[in-house]
Amino acid sequence: MVKMTLIARVTDGLPLAEGLDDGRDLPDSDMYKQQVKALFKNLSRGHNEASRMSVETGPYIFHYIIEGRVCYLTMCDRSYPKKLAFQYLEDLKNEFERVNGPNIETAARPYAFIKFDTFIQKTKKLYQDTRTQRNIAKLNDELYEVHQIMTRNVQEVLGVGEKLDQVSEMSSRLTSESRIYADKAKDLNRQALIRKWAPVAIVFGVVFLLFWVKNKLW
């Protein structure tokens, strides 16, 4: 069954609407919300382009669809049929676009469409029980194909960003260290030069000094 529902804008990860009594009987709902937020952040950076995806996390699974720069995400039990979950998101998407379509891009504040939560709650109730006639019919309906939708693990998804971060960090460290190396090499070169010519210079200097002293004394 559906545990929580969030709608966010992909371009900047701004939350647009959320199911209200989400996480009612979830002991660690905060942790999952954090994961969702991290996921949105990843999406806004353009890491995951797939428009339909399922992400496993612990005993639950996130399903999301991205349509018109809006991400509709829901968290369900693993046992909950994937087909129904995506049907649910499809329903939300249709209604959301119908009601708020033109305003999505201009929304400036978080939860600008919080009024949508009443619809989320209503729809959620329809999908609560998988054995109702309506839902069974939907399950049997072969029109909607969900087999191709990729399933990945949340650590993997969130990890992609982390790895990229690591790589860029490493490369930047490499740049700065090579610069240091170049500086040091120059320095060494100069020192070697000095070491090589210094004795000669000193000898000549002494000789000239002697000459000069001699001239002076005479």
Partner 1 sequence: MNRENQGYPNFPARPPPPPSSSSSPFASAPPPGVPPQSGGPETVGFRPHTRPFTPSGPPMAPPLGVMRPVQPPLVSQIPGQGSRPPPSTAYGPPGGGSFQRFPTPPPPPSGPPPTQTLAGHFSPPMSLPPQLPMGPPPQSMSSGVPGGYASPPQPGFQQSGPPINPSYPGVGSPQPSFPGYPSKQVLQGPPSSYPPQAGGFAQHPGQQNLHPSYAPPTSNVQGLAEDFNSLSLTNIPGSLEPGLDQASFPRPLDGDVEPNSFAEIYPMNCHSRYLRLTTSAIPSSQSLASRWHLPLGAVVCPLAEAPEGEEVPLIDFGSSGIIRCRRCRTYVNPYVTFTDSGRKWRCNICSMLNDVPGEYFSHLDATGRRMDMDQRPELTKGSVEIIAPTEYMVRPPMPPIYFFLIDVSFSAAKSGMLEVASQTIKSCLDNLPGYPRTQIGFITYDSTLHFYNMKSSLSQPQMMVVSDLDDIFVPLPDDLLVNLSESRNVVEAFLDSLPLMFQNNVNVESAFGPALKAAYMVMNQLGGKLLIIQNSLPSLGAGRLKLRGDDARVYGTDKEYTLRVAEDNFYKQMAADCTKFQIGINVYAFSDKYTDIASLGTLAKYTGGQVYYYPGFKSSIHGDKLRHELARDLTRETAWESVMRIRCGKGIRFSSYHGNFMLRSTDLLALPAVDCDKAYAMQLTLEETLLTTPTVYFQVALLYTASCGERRIRVHTAVAPVVTDLGEMYRQADTGAIVSVYARLAIEKTLSAKLDDARNAIQQKIVKALREYRNLHSVQHRLGSRLIYPESLKFLPLYGLSICKSTPLQGGPADASLDERCAAGFTMMALPVKKLLKLLYPNLFRVDEWLLKPSEHLDDLKDVLRRLPLAAESLDSRGLYIYDDGFRLVLWFGRMLSPDIAKNLLGADFAAELSRVTLQEQENGMSKKLMRLIKKVRENDPSYHPMCFLVRQGEQPREGFLLLRHLIEDQMGGSTSYVDWILQIHRQVQQNG
Does 92 interact with partner 1 (rule: CB under 8 A)? no
Sheet with 60-67, edge to edge strand ranges: 15-18, 2-9, 70-77, 60-67, 52-57, 150-153
Q: Are 82 and 139 in contact (CB under 8 A)?
A: no
17 binds partner 1 (CB under 8 A): yes
Select the span of 18-26, 74-82, 87-95, 98-106 touching partner 1 (CB under 8 A): 18-26
Number of residues that bind partner 1 (CB under 8 A): 17
> Which residue among 18, 63, 80, 123 contacts partner 1 (CB under 8 A)?
18
Binders of partner 1 among 121-160, rule CB under 8 A? Answer: 121-122
Residue 49 and residue 71 in contact, taking contact as beta carbons nearer than 8 Å: no
Binding partner 1 (rule: CB under 8 A), the pick from 2, 15, 96, 127 is: 15
Give the pair of three-digit tokens for residue 73.
Answer: 């995400």
Check if the beta carbon of residue 156 is closer than 8 Å to that of residue 31: no
Between the alpha carbon of residue 36 and those of residues 4, 32, 135, 193, the distances in Å are 10, 6, 26, 61
Q: Which amino acid is at 22?
A: D
Q: Minimum distance from CB of 151 to partner 1 (Å)?
A: 28
How is residue 133 written in tokens? Answer: 């006639």
Q: Measured from the CB atom, is 14 or 139 closer to partner 1?
A: 14
The residue among 115 and 163 lying less far from partner 1, judged by its C-beta, is 115
Q: Is 107 in the site for partner 1 (CB under 8 A)?
A: no
Q: Does 200 bind partner 1 (CB under 8 A)?
A: no
By C-beta, is 20 or 206 nearer to partner 1? Answer: 20
User: Which of 27, 106, 109, 131 touches partner 1 (CB under 8 A)?
Assistant: 109
Choices 54-62, 113-121, 143-151, 201-209; region in contact with partner 1 by CB under 8 A? 113-121
Quote the CA–CA distance of 185 and 207 in Å, as a whole number: 34
Residue of 113, 87, 155, 95 whose CA lies nearest to 76 = 87
**Left (φ > 0), alpha (ψ -120 to 50) or beta: where does 108 sit?**
alpha
Closest distance of CB 34 from partner 1, Å? 12
Q: Least distance (Å) from partner 1 to the CB of residue 135?
A: 18
Q: Helix (H, G, I), strand (E, B), or coil: what is residue 149? A: coil
Q: Which stretch binds partner 1 (CB under 8 A): 76-84, 93-101, 106-114, 203-211?
A: 106-114
Residues forming the site for partner 1 (CB under 8 A): 14-15, 17-18, 20-21, 24, 108-111, 114-115, 117-118, 121-122
